Every structure is written in C-alpha cells, then in structure tokens.
A and B are shown apart, each in its own frame.
Chain A
Amino acid sequence: MIAEVSSFALPLSLAMILVVAVIRKVPLYETFVLGAKDGFQTAINLIPNLIGMMVAVSVFRSSGALNLVIHALSPVFHFLRFPPELLSIALLRPISGASSLALVTDLFKHHGPDSLLGKIASTMQGSTDTTLYVLTVYFGSIGIKNPRYAVKVGLWSDLISVIASVFAVYLIIGK
C-alpha cells in the first residue's frame, strides 16, 4: 500500500502538471523542449565535482581506511542505532550536494539501492538542500557579511533531517 503511494507520486504529479498546462493552453511540447535543453549541461556540470569526490572516496575505501574508521566507530553508532556507513554522507550533505551524491553512488555500488542502507542514503540525499551553497548564493548576492544565526539554524536542521531520514525509512519501509 505505502509502496504504491510512493510509486504513484511521480506519474500522478506528471498527470496533474500536464492537465493544468493543457487547460491553461501552454504549448506543451515546445515548452518541454525549451526546459529540457538545459538538462545535458546541468548533468555534465556535475562531472568535475563528482570525479574529484569519487576518486577521493574510492582511494579512502580501497585502501582500507574506510573500514578502519567504521570499525573504530561502530560501537558508538551501534549504540545510537545509526549505520556508520552513512556518517560520511550525513557530514558532507550540507557542504556539497554533488560530493554527497558521489558518496551515495559509492554506497549503491557496494550495497545496492534497495538495501536498507541504500534507501536511507537516498532519503538523506533527497530530503535537504546544500545549506552552505544556499547560504553563499542567497546572502552573497546582496552582500550580507554577518549571517547571524542563519548558519546555526541551517546546520541544526540538517542534523534533524539526517535523523528524520533514518526514522522515516524505518517507519515507512521497515527492515
């Protein structure tokens, strides 16, 4: 039942958008092509960031360093019931979206997207925006030098988002 709600979400929004657009006489196909033409560039723009981070992660993993860290931290995380494999994604998500996407990809490769870890990682990656990026762009554009408490609010809500992702996957998809 819940799985069905999830799988219906995308096609349903699609149907809704198309119906409203037809009623409001939007030239559907031309508009689609106009918007889609930026897609290639957007994806390609990810390449430098993805390669930079995936190489670093791959070095860190293949050397055995990742296993050492996970091994050292696992008692703490076991106690918190937080999977240690997800720590790096949680830490990197607020700093760089493309970098944490690289980590999620790495995790998919080793655990698969349908594993519990894969699902939590997907939810963590999808449910928040890159705080430091938004902060830089929004405040940078108008020359704000003192962000006051905005950084604190952003980072605290990122932490809550991480915990909420673990919680949401356990609650909705279960083990």
Chain B
Amino acid sequence: MLNIIWFTLMMSGLIVAFATGHVAQVTNGLWDGAKSGVEVAIGLVSIITFWLGIMKIAESARLIEGLSKLVKPIAKWLFPSVPESHPAMGAIIANMSANLLGLGNAATPLGLKAMEELQKLNPTKDMASDAMCTLLALNTASLTIIPATMIGLRAEFHSKNPADIVLPTLLATAIATTAAIILDRFYRHRHQVNHPCKGYAK
C-alpha cells in the first residue's frame, strides 16, 4: 500500500515538474523535504522524552490497576464471549485502562497479552474470534486523552496555544471510539446472520 502511495506521489510530482518546467523547484523541494524530516524528528525528541518519562511514573504508580475497577463492567459488556475469570479478561481490562490513560507504550504489550489469551479461547486458530475483532476495534480507535506528540509539534511551529486542540481531539476520539464499538456490534451480528453454521467463537 505504502509502495503505491510513495511511487504515485513521487512520479506524479516529477511528471508535472517536467511538463511545467518546475524542475529546479522540485530539486529544491527534494532537499527541503529531507531536511525537514530530520528537523521534525529532532524537534520531537524533547516532548517524546519528557512524556515517556511521565508515562513511566503513571505506570509505576499503578494507575492502570486503579482504573480497572471502573473499566471492568464495560469490558464485560463489550466481551460477552470471554468468561469473567479467564486471564484474557484481566489483560483486556488492563489494555483498556492503559489506553484510557493515554499510556500507549504500556497498552500495546497488554493488548498483545490479551490477544494471546483470546487465541486460547478461539476454536479457529487462523480466523479472528468476535472478541479479537472487538479488542482490535478498541485499539485502532484508541481513545486519546492527551495528544502529546501533536502538542509538541505545534509548539515546535510556534503555535500561540499548542494545547488548544486537546478538547477537540477528546471529542473526535470519543465519537470515533463510540462508532467503532457500534460498528463492531453491527458487523458481528451481521456475520452471524449471514454465516450461522461457521462456528465462530461466540
């Protein structure tokens, strides 16, 4: 996918440049692009380093465990096919809590652990179960509380108020997460209706 996009961007740019005589601009554009790639990455070192440090503190302060009690009833509703006492449920709850706190780095290993446990409950090992699809939907929508990288990038470009996107981001991500949950339910239902005898993990 990325191969096609990259090729299309480059080639159509080069063709237009040849056709319109903008060859010199394109040559400059090439070096400008490469240079700003490095500048952006270096500029983000500060905020990413700081935020990773803070996130480690949040993780060590057992904030994930603290949120689990609140998340548990939601998780039970979202994953009706997972037995409450199964280790998969624990990992799912931890993954959801970490996502809620914006602890992306902690959320991924917890999510992978949850997938591993869900695979034990899955009768068709190379086909995703309902619960796996739900977990994936939650993680791709990933409810974001503090968009730290974007705040950092905006500050780097001298924004007057780099953080003023926090509220819009929260609203947009909440809408998208709700949509992901509804879509997941919708498709889960439809797939059961369409293929009632395929025996998916319920």
Residues of A within 8 A of B (CB): 2-3, 5-7, 9-10, 13-14, 17-18, 20-21, 24, 26, 28, 31-36, 38-40, 42-44, 46-47, 50-65, 68, 92, 95-96, 99, 101-102, 104-106, 108-109, 112-114, 118-119, 122-132, 134-135, 137-139, 141-150, 152-154, 156-158, 160-161, 164-165, 167-169, 171-173
Contact = CB atoms under 8 A, between A and B. Distances in A.
B72 interface: no
15 contacts: A21-B58, A43-B48, A47-B37, A56-B13, A57-B33, A59-B13, A63-B16, A122-B150, A127-B147, A128-B176, A138-B112, A141-B115, A157-B179, A168-B168, A168-B169
B154 to A, nearest CB: 4
Contacts of B62: 24
A169 to B, nearest CB: 5
Nearest to B112: A141
Interface in B130-146: 132-133, 135-137, 139-142, 144-146
Interface in B1-41: 1-2, 5-6, 9-10, 12-17, 20, 22, 25-26, 28-30, 32-34, 36-38, 40-41
Nearest to A161: B176
A124 to B, nearest CB: 8
B42 to A, nearest CB: 7
Contact of A50 (B37, B52, B108, B128): B37
Contact of B30 (A33, A55, A154): A55
B162 interface: yes
Nearest to B136: A150
Interface of B: 1-2, 5-6, 9-10, 12-17, 20, 22, 25-26, 28-30, 32-34, 36-38, 40-42, 44-45, 48-63, 66, 108, 111-112, 115-116, 118-119, 125-128, 132-133, 135-137, 139-142, 144-151, 153-154, 157-169, 171-173, 175-177, 179-180, 183-184, 187-188, 190-191, 200
Q: Which among B60, B63, B158 has the highest number of chain A CB atoms within 10 Å? A: B60
A6 B9 CA distance: 36
Contacts of A39: 45, 48-53
Given A32-B57, A153-B133, 15 more contacts: A24-B61, A54-B34, A56-B33, A63-B26, A65-B16, A113-B158, A123-B165, A125-B150, A129-B141, A142-B116, A149-B188, A149-B191, A153-B140, A161-B179, A164-B175
Contacts of B34: 51, 54-55
B119 A113 contact: no
B5 to A, nearest CB: 7
B137 A35 contact: no
Given A3-B164, A54-B37, A145-B127, A126 B191 contact: no
B128 to A, nearest CB: 5
Contacts of B126: 143-146
B41 A43 contact: yes
Contacts of A52: 6, 37
B154 A108 contact: yes
B52 A6 contact: no
A60 B9 contact: yes
Given A165-B172, A173-B164, A138 B40 contact: no
